[in-house]
Amino acid sequence: MGKDFSCSVIIPCHNEEENIAECIERIPKMGNFTEIIVVDDGSTDKTKDVVQKMLANPNNLKLISYSPNKGKGFAVRKGFDEAKGDVLMILDADMSVPPEELPLFFSPIAKGEAEAVNGTRLIYPMEKGAMSHFRHFGNKIFALIFAWLMKRRITDTLCGTKAILKKHYERIQMGRCPWGDFDILIGIAKLNLKMKEIPIHYKRRRKGKSKMRIFKDGGVFLRMCWYGVKELKLRISMI
């Protein structure tokens, strides 16, 4: 059954010239066709140039580039909207989730075991330096909140790798979350999709700089929690 599905891997990136070529090359083939879409989110380095040189090989590689930087959530939407695959995936260019583990996300959907898959970094031991203790604690707290909101088990809300059937993505309202993760998770809950969590081996970034800013982004996390309460709790109670 898995061979009947095609797959689109979306790589949103900003200033990832040191990582993007290796990231693309390490993506395995999945289903009957694997499309790779790099979304250059207003990079000021040579990310776009690196990808352009790779466009002829493989021929399933596409590039979307724009300026100025508009954030990961916007980049994910652009990539998903352009994607042709049946199964849509997000992969961070820093390869903190190894590209070789993408088939773990594709397989449950292809086999009919899930309609969406969420990665979790908090099950397997992490590589040293991959996540600070503060971020680890914060991720656990937000996971508990969203498990309550979604009425299902979820251990990690912000793992950069997620997968969903395109036909379901097209019914989800995007644009509230700067990263896209909470929009997708809330959409999964509202559509009552069958979701599976997949543990991944979380690696530290080896090149380039992280785009996550703990204290500034902490306020965004809280707003997303309130958004989840309004969409999944208050709206239901008013019906």
pLDDT digits (tens, 9 = 90+) for 168-203: 999 999 988 888 888 999 999 999 999 999 999 988
Q: What pLDDT does 208 receive? A: 61
Mean pLDDT over residues 139-160, rounded?
84
**Alpha-carbon distance 183 to 185, whole Å?**
6
For residue range 30-49, list pLDDT tens digits in order. Answer: 999 999 999 999 999 999 99
Q: Is residue 131 predicted with pLDDT exceeding 80? A: no
What is the number of domains present in the chain? Answer: 1
12 strand-pairing partners: 39
Residue at token pair 């289903």: 31
Q: What pLDDT does 238 receive? A: 40
Q: Is residue 222 predicted with pLDDT exceeding 70? A: yes
Cα-to-chain-centroid distance, residue 9: 10
Q: Is residue 6 predicted with pLDDT exceeding 90? A: yes
Sign of CA dihedral 135, 136, 141, 144: positive
Is residue 61 within 8 A of residue 24, CB to CB? The reply is yes
- Whichever domain contains 163, its CATH number is 3.90.550.10
Nearest Cα to Cα of residue 13 among 92, 82, 98: 92
DSSP string covering 38-95, please?
EEEES-SSSHHHHHHHHTTSSTTEEEEEESS---HHHHHHHHHHH---SEEEE--TT-
**Alpha-carbon distance 228 to 232, whole Å?**
6
pLDDT tier for residue 125 given thresholds of 50, 70 and 90: confident
**Alpha-carbon distance 1 to 178, whole Å?**
35
The residue among 123 and 16 whose pLDDT is bigger is 16
Q: Phi, psi at residue 146, to the nearest 5°?
A: -75, -25
Q: What pLDDT does 47 receive? A: 98
31 strand-pairing partners: none
Ranking 50-59, 60-69, 177-186, 202-211 by mean pLDDT, the lowest is: 202-211
Is residue 34 within 8 A of residue 27, CB to CB? The reply is yes
> What DSSP character marks residue 80?
H
Q: Phi, psi at residue 181, to the nearest 5°?
A: -60, -50
Please give the helix or strand (H or E) that residue 69 lies within, else none: none
Mean pLDDT over residues 64-80, rounded?
96
Cα–Cα separations (whole angstroms), residue 114 to 23, 163, 184, 197: 26, 10, 15, 10
Mean pLDDT over residues 200-226, rounded?
69
Mean pLDDT over residues 155-164, rounded?
91
Q: Give first-to-last CA distance, the chain, whole Å.
A: 38
pLDDT tier for residue 10 given thresholds of 50, 70 and 90: very high
Q: Is residue 232 predicted with pLDDT exceeding 60? A: yes
Domain holding 152, by residue range, is 2-238
Predicted model pTM: 0.86
**Alpha-carbon distance 185 to 199, whole Å?**
17
